[in-house]
């Protein structure tokens, strides 16, 4: 459901070159070493105990998640936090029922006890079972390793260096007349994931993600208005090189000036406008209106009690039939885009994720799946001549969270014509161009959504004629995507994302990215949100 703050950076079209320029000369992409023997012993102790207790299938994840935060405002450090959590989560399938147990007791006895507990829970639930859970096959992978290829480990950068960079950026923003407050954060995550299942798959992988958002606030001299420029830099599945490339010190003044300009912006006149959406804005709209509705568990009602179901349902009527948008709309699910937040080598049930087209030429072609769910679409895959296999969307937030279907990177593919955000504005007569993500809300079936933004520009006669404020647009998802009439090309493609996509009970956060070119949508309903009473 909720994507937390999302924003966007330039696509790694030339990122490799930049990485080489900005990283220390000896920095090389991280290479994952083989799993150490004690960790493998623990995984085996866990799955063997579950199997001995009666599990038909079991898997275990020994995971370590480290987080590092540096939090500042103006010229002050507010807090520096380093967190570290390690443990083992074991899942057991017994007679078609799931059980899960998680423990921080990383001894052979500790994980074996958790394995037995997972089986006991599965057995206790048998009384309430209806249909048995069946897993789609996944080929045993043997022992494998993977890393997301970060070049600078954020844990090798001294904290004073991180603080200095943030405080410098804050100072640059504060130089802008009218800017009163600045907050900025660096946020790093390192996941060391070790996995084994009773099919014969043993994987070890390390994933690093980095984020450094700022929020700059300008306040009018009479205290009747305040405006902020936020969500300035998106998260990425990369190391400290991502922070360096974002150049927050170099950009802070521009962001500060934008906050001040918002104070003087004209209030929007409600009505229908052609919207030209920058990738830094559109990634969140994609997340809510394309990503979530095409999760197969939602489509079958498995999230009804919390995040909700989906209008893209039932799959039996939707697949190959439902027109989501025009022919130019192609939407890909993947966990392979370099530097994207959901990119992994293996998912949390031993599957190597594949790239798949969720929407092909405007028509729904597939859903996001796990091994449990892939079987539900057997009829469709058979009809398409495709193997029945999971797309590798199983993920648990950490060792203590049971894995389930989470969103891969879901991206709108660029169009064949090479055109930019500015090129699309130049072809628009009366519209609003929107940059950056703001407020967002969408119903539990993903029909009705309302989105704000960071910056709004009035378009008249192909030109941006000034800034607007109090803008939000309301959509009905299928109409919005069918109103798409222009797409940028490959060079205009950018990736945004979030660390905080919430789903499930108990709630879990997932990191995910969305790539897209700029788009234009005709005659979308715009409201003015500047109410006073």
Partner 1 sequence: MTSRFDPSAPKRLLTASDELVSRDEAQRIIESTIKLSKADAVQVNIGGGRQRNVRFAANQMSTAGLITDLSLVVTSAFGPKHAITTTNDLSPEGIERAVRQSEAIAKLAPDDPESMPALGSQTIRAMPSAWDEATVNLDAASCATAALTALVPARANGTLQAAGFLQVDANVTALGNNAGLFAYHRGTKSNYTLTVRTADGTGSGWAGAEQPRFSSIDFERLGARAIEKAELSRNPVAIEPGRYTVIMEPQAVGDLIQLFSGYADARSADEGRSPFVKQGGGNKLGEKIVDQRVSLYSDPYDPTILADPFDGEGFPLVRHDWITNGVLTEMQYGRFWAKKQGKQPTGGANNIVMGGGSTTREQMIAGTRRGILVTRLWYLREVDPRTALFTGLTRDGTFLIENGKVTRAIKNMRFNESPLFLLNNLESLGPQERVAGVEALVPCVMPLLKVRDFNFTSLSDAV
Q: Within positions 2 to 41, which residues make up the interface with partner 1, using CB under 8 A?
A: 2, 35-36, 38-39, 41
Residue 177 found at the interface with partner 1 (CB under 8 A) = no
CB of 479: closest distance to partner 1 in angstroms? Answer: 11
Q: Which residues contact 164 (CB under 8 A, 6 or more apart)?
A: none
Which listed residue (50, 55, 167, 374) binds partner 1 by CB under 8 A? Answer: 167
Phi/psi of residue 138, nearest 5 degrees: -135, 125
Q: Does 384 bind partner 1 (CB under 8 A)?
A: no
Name the region of 239 (left: φ>0; alpha: ψ -120 to 50; beta: rest).
beta
Q: Which is nearer to partner 1, 242 or 446 (CB)?
A: 446
Q: How far apart are CB 181 and partner 1 at their closest, in Å?
A: 6
Touching partner 1, residues 491-510 (CB under 8 A): 505-507
Are the C-beta atoms of residues 402 and 121 closer than 8 Å to each other?
no
CB of 507 to partner 1, least distance (A): 8
The CA-atom distances, in angstroms, between 309 and each of 1, 370, 379, 507 are: 11, 17, 22, 16
Q: Tell me which of 62, 185, 344, 425 binds partner 1, using CB under 8 A.
A: 62
Beta strand 271-277 with 430-435: parallel, antiparallel or unpaired? parallel
Helical H runs in 198-271? 241-246, 248-264
Footprint on residues 428-467 left by partner 1 (CB under 8 A): 439-448, 450, 452
By three-state DSSP, how is residue 519 classified?
A: strand
Of residues 118 and 341, the one with the C-beta less far from partner 1: 118
CA angle 258, 262, 265 (to 5 degrees): 130
Distance (Å, whole) CA 304 – CA 257: 44
Nearest to 515 by CA among 14, 61, 66, 12: 12
Q: What residues pair up with 179 in beta bridges, in sequence order? A: 218
The yes or no reply on residue 482 touching partner 1 (CB under 8 A) is no
Q: Which of 194, 330, 492, 510 binds partner 1 (CB under 8 A)?
A: 194
- Residue 158 interacts with partner 1 (CB under 8 A)? yes
Listed ranges 237-245, 329-337, 459-467, 523-531: which one lies at the site for partner 1 (CB under 8 A): 523-531
Q: Are 301 and 310 in contact (CB under 8 A)?
A: no
What are the beta bridge partners of residue 323?
363
Question: Judged by CB under 8 A, which stretch of 237-245, 279-287, 295-303, 331-339 contacts partner 1?
Answer: 295-303
Decide: helix, strand or coil at residue 276: strand
- Which residue has tokens 């991280």? 30
Residues 100-139 within binding reach of partner 1 (CB under 8 A): 100-108, 110, 113, 117-118, 120-122, 124-125, 127-131
According to CB under 8 A, which one of 10, 181, 326, 464 is a site residue for partner 1?
A: 181
Mark the segment that binds partner 1 (CB under 8 A) among 136-144, 163-171, 355-363, 423-431: 163-171
Find out whether 346 and 370 touch, Cβ atoms under 8 Å. Answer: no
Q: 177 or 532, CB closer to partner 1?
A: 532
523 binds partner 1 (CB under 8 A): no
Q: Which helix (H) or strand (E) holds 509?
A: strand 508-516
Q: According to the binding rule CB under 8 A, does residue 308 interact with partner 1?
A: yes
Does residue number 85 form part of the binding site for partner 1 (CB under 8 A)?
yes
- Contact between 30 and 241 (Cβ < 8 Å): no
Nearer to partner 1, 83 or 386 (CB): 83
The number of beta carbons lying within 10 Å of the beta carbon of residue 382 is 11
Please give the residues from 208 up to 267 whose contact with partner 1 meets the rule CB under 8 A: 217, 219, 222-226, 228
Residue in 305, 321, 385, 429 binding partner 1, rule: CB under 8 A = 305
95 binds partner 1 (CB under 8 A): no
Number of residues that bind partner 1 (CB under 8 A): 108
The torsion of the CA quartet 490, 287, 361, 384, rounded to 10 degrees, works out to 120
| Cβ 487 to partner 1 shortest distance, Å | 26
Round to whole Å and give the CA distance between 517 and 493.
4
Which of 8, 19, 23, 192 forms a contact with partner 1 (CB under 8 A)?
192
Least Å distance between CB 504 and partner 1? 8
User: Whole-number minimum distance, CB 40 to partner 1, in Å?
Assistant: 9
Give the total residue count for the chain: 533
């Amino acid at each position: 459901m909720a994507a937390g703050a999302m924003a966007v950076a330039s696509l790694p079209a030339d990122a490799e070159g930049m990485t080489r320029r900005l990283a220390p000369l000896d920095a090389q992409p991280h290479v994952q070493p083989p799993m150490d023997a004690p960790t493998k012993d623990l995984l085996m102790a866990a799955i063997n105990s579950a199997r001995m207790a009666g599990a038909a299938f079991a898997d275990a994840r020994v995971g370590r998640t480290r987080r590092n935060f540096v939090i500042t405002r103006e010229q002050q450090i507010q807090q520096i936090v380093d967190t570290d959590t390690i443990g083992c989560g074991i899942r057991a399938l017994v007679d078609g029922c799931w059980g899960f147990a998680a423990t921080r007791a990383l001894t052979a006895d500790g994980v074996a006890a958790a394995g037995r507990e997972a089986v006991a829970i599965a057995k206790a639930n048998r009384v309430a079972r209806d249909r048995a859970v069946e897993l789609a096959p996944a080929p045993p992978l043997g022992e494998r390793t993977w890393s997301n290829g970060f070049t600078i480990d954020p844990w090798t950068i001294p904290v004073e260096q991180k603080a200095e960079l943030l405080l410098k950026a804050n100072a640059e923003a504060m130089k802008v007349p009218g800017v009163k407050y600045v907050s900025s954060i660096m946020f790093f995550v390192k996941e060391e994931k070790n996995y084994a299942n009773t099919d014969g798959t043993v994987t070890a992988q390390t994933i690093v993600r980095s984020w450094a958002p700022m929020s700059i606030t300008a306040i009018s001299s009479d205290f009747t208005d305040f405006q902020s420029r936020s969500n300035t830099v998106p998260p990425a599945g990369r190391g400290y090189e991502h922070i360096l490339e974002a150049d927050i010190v170099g950009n802070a003044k521009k962001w500060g000036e934008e906050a001040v300009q918002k104070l003087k912006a004209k209030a929007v006149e409600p009505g229908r406008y052609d919207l030209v959406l920058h990738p830094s804005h559109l990634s969140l709209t994609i997340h809510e209106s394309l990503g979530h509705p095409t999760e197969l568990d939602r489509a079958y009602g498995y999230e009804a009690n919390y995040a909700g179901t989906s209008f893209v349902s039932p799959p039996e009527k939707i697949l190959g039939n439902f027109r989501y948008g025009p022919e130019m709309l192609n939407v890909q699910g993947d966990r392979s885009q370099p530097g994207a937040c959901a990119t992994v080598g293996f998912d949390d049930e031993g599957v190597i994720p594949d790239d798949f087209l969720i929407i092909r030429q405007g028509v729904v072609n597939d859903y996001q799946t796990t091994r449990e769910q892939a079987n539900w679409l057997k009829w469709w895959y058979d009809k398409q001549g495709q193997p029945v296999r999971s797309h590798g969307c199983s993920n648990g937030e950490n060792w203590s969270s049971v894995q389930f279907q989470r969103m891969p990177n879901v991206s709108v593919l660029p169009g064949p014509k090479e055109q930019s955000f500015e090129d699309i504005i130049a072809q628009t007569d009366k519209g609003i161009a929107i940059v950056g993500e703001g407020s967002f809300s969408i119903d539990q079936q993903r029909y009705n959504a309302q989105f704000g933004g960071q910056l709004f520009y009035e378009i008249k006669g192909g030109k941006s004629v000034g800034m607007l404020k109090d803008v939000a647009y309301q959509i009905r998802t299928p109409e919005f995507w069918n109103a798409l009439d222009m797409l940028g090309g490959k060079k205009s493609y950018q990736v945004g994302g979030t660390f905080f996509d919430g789903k499930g009970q108990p709630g879990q956060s997932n990191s995910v990215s969305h790539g897209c070119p700029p788009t234009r949508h005709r005659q979308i309903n715009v409201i003015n949100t500047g109410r006073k009473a």
